[in-house]
Amino acid sequence: MKQQRNSGRRERRSALYEIRKSNIQGKGVFAMRRIRPGQRIVEYTGEKITNDEADKRYDEDKMKRHHTFLFTLNDDYCIDGDVPTNKAALINHSCDPNCEAVIEDDRIWIYALKNIQPGVELAYDYQYERTGDDIEALEKFYVCRCGSPKCRGSIMAPPKKRRKKKKAAKRSKRKTSR
Ligand SMILES: C[S@@+](CC[C@H](N)C(=O)[O-])C[C@H]1O[C@@H](n2cnc3c(N)ncnc32)[C@H](O)[C@@H]1O
Ligand SMILES: [Zn+2]
């Protein structure tokens, strides 16, 4: 009797994404297949280092334009994603993103926020922390080129809104001349 052989091979699906030149900046990551909302796409991997070490590795004062591969985990640590196996490092920022980055037990995962069609560039909102007072210089240094109609102009997190006082101040009955 002819023996049934199991080839041991699993049916391979085509790649979910590819890396190629982006209109936003440098290289980017593009969907190759349809990606569904909530789908986990890729892990942002790299070397876990202290924030102090990150400051030593990347001296922003010496950069003309911001360019790093750092992802903040918490007040003490970040991931330096500048390792060849980390494809997620090439995902650009968008102010109107189709992905989000989620930290789960010190690991960073990129999830789809919406339906993403093949050929569309993946992007999440970097929301870089605003440090420093010279807003104009910061916005120039962290300039955003996502091209979205919702673009904030910079890849920094939007400025924090002042919290409204719990009780509204009594309005003056008099009209102001303004
Ligand atoms: C982790 S890299 C992303 C991959 C990058 N395109 C590359 O080829 O290296 C992060 C850097 O890409 C650039 N970048 C990402 N999104 C951007 C955007 N929307 N506008 C301008 N620069 C962006 C910034 O320089 C940022 O520091
Ligand atoms: Zn933008």
What's the CATH number where 37 sits?
2.170.270.10
Mean pLDDT lowest for which of 10-14, 115-119, 151-155? 10-14
Grade residue 5 by pLDDT with cuts at 50, 70 and 90.
low
Nearest CA to ligand 1 atom 25: 67
Q: Which atom from ligand 1 is nearest to the alpha carbon of 22?
A: 6
Residue 134 lies in a domain: yes
Q: How many domains does the chain have?
A: 1
Give the pLDDT confidence score for residue 67 in this predicted structure.
87
CA atoms within 13 A on the CB side of 95: 17
Residue 96 lies in a domain: yes
- Of 155 and 165, the structure prediction assigns the larger pLDDT to 155
Range of 25's domain?
17-41+85-141
Grade residue 170 by pLDDT with cuts at 50, 70 and 90.
very low
Statement: residue 95 has pLDDT above 60 = yes
Residue 60 lies in a domain: no
Residue 118 lies in a domain: yes
87 lines ligand 1 (CB under 6 A): no
Residue 159 lies in a domain: no
Q: Which atom from ligand 1 is nearest to the alpha carbon of 69?
A: 1
pTM of the model: 0.84
Residue 146 lies in a domain: no
Grade residue 165 by pLDDT with cuts at 50, 70 and 90.
low
- Report the separation in Å between the CA atom of 136 and the middle of ligand 1, taken as the mean of its atom positions: 19
